[in-house]
Structure 1
Amino acid sequence: MKTILWATLTANGNYAQSSPEHPPKKEALTDFETYAKAAGNFIVGRKTFEGFQASGGGTFTDIDIVVVSKSLKEIPGIKIAGSPQEALNYLQEKGHKTVLLSGGADLHNAFLEQDLVDEILFNIVPVLEGKGLSLLLDTVNYQYKDIQLLDFKSLGSGVVQLHYAVGK
């Protein structure tokens, strides 16, 4: 099973923080929906999922959504997993061949630390933020890691997507 980490970053390398005053770029959201529909699923962290719900969510019918959380107990129609591996096991049992990992720096870091990411899609938005979250490469597995550029493209409105393979 292939796991693709999907993230939106600012031009200065932070995770793009959205708010009502600074909503996510339409091009990045459209791209996410395209990948989620193609995979038939996505995994998200609790905080990102709560933000997703507060903003009205998306049109994700017939898509398996898994929220990784140790504190949530139940969300109708949504699978709650206590760990990255539990989330992957659930989606594999459902027959998925590709998994889209979509939200939260903490969740992304947990998957990377456990060497569970095969590809990365970074959507770079034309924004500079002075404060933000980032990928933390300070574990034994990820103090330094070569990755291979597979593709790059413009999504429009200054949003550029970089697609990388992560060697195991």
Structure 2
Amino acid sequence: MKTMLWATLTANGNYAQSGPDNPPKQEALEDFAAQARAAGNFIVGRRTFEGMLASGGGGAFGELDIVVVSSGNPDLPGVKVAASPKEALRYLRERGHRAALLSGGAELHNAFLGQGLVDELVFVIAPTLEGKGLRLLTDTDKYKHQEARLLDFKALGNGVLRLRYGIPGSEQA
């Protein structure tokens, strides 16, 4: 199963932090929805999923298989709760999916990367700069230096870009 990590980053490389004063870019939201529909699913962390629900965005994905990775056992109707990244992937594989879209947040991304479970990186770059922010895992032996292969790129409009990279040794690299 191909696993694609999808994230919105700022132009200076941080995770884009959204909130009431800084809503996510519409182009990024549309790209995520298109990627999720194409995969038929997405995997998300509990805090990120609860944020989606609070903003009213969770209902837009009713036809997709949604897996929430959480070490606890939250009561989240309509979604599968998995205790680990491998359990999330196993569930989607058993449901017949050939690809999994990993959508957030940073802690979950780093867990998948740290276990070598990511085949592609899909970065949507927002034309903003942020002084503080979360980052992708960069301090493990596995990823001290590893080349990634640019698979494609696309301008999404209003200065927003999508970059898609393959990780060497994966199905798509």
Match of 2:43 in 1: 43
Alignment-mate amino acid for residue 128 of structure 1 = L
**Distance (Å, rounded) in 2 between the aligned partners of 1:152 and 1:83:** 31
**Distance (Å, rounded) in 2 between the aligned partners of 1:121 and 1:143:** 20
Match of 1:154 in 2: 155
SS at match of 1:161: strand
1:96-141 CA-to-partner distances (Å, cap 9, x unmatched) read: 0010000101100110011100011100001100110001211121
2:44 and 2:103 in contact (8 A); partners too:
yes
Alignment-mate amino acid for residue 46 of structure 1 = R
**Distance (Å, rounded) in 2 between the aligned partners of 1:92 and 1:136:** 25
Structure 1 residue 84 displacement after superposition: 0.3
Match of 1:22 in 2: 22
The answer on 1:143 being equivalent to 2:144 is: yes
Identity of aligned residues (%): 64
Match of 2:125 in 1: 124
**Distance (Å, rounded) in 2 between the aligned partners of 1:125 and 1:162:** 11
- Extract unaligned runs of 5+ from structure 2: none
2:113 and 2:137 in contact (8 A); partners too:
no
SS at match of 1:92: helix
Aligned residue runs from structure 1 range 72-111, under 5 A: 72-111=73-112
- Extract unaligned runs of 5+ from structure 1: none
RMSD: 0.9
Structure 1 residue 143 displacement after superposition: 1.4
Structure-2-length-normalised TM-score: 0.95
**Distance (Å, rounded) in 1 between the aligned partners of 2:51 and 2:9:** 17
**Distance (Å, rounded) in 2 between the aligned partners of 1:50 and 1:60:** 14
Structure-1-length-normalised TM-score: 0.97
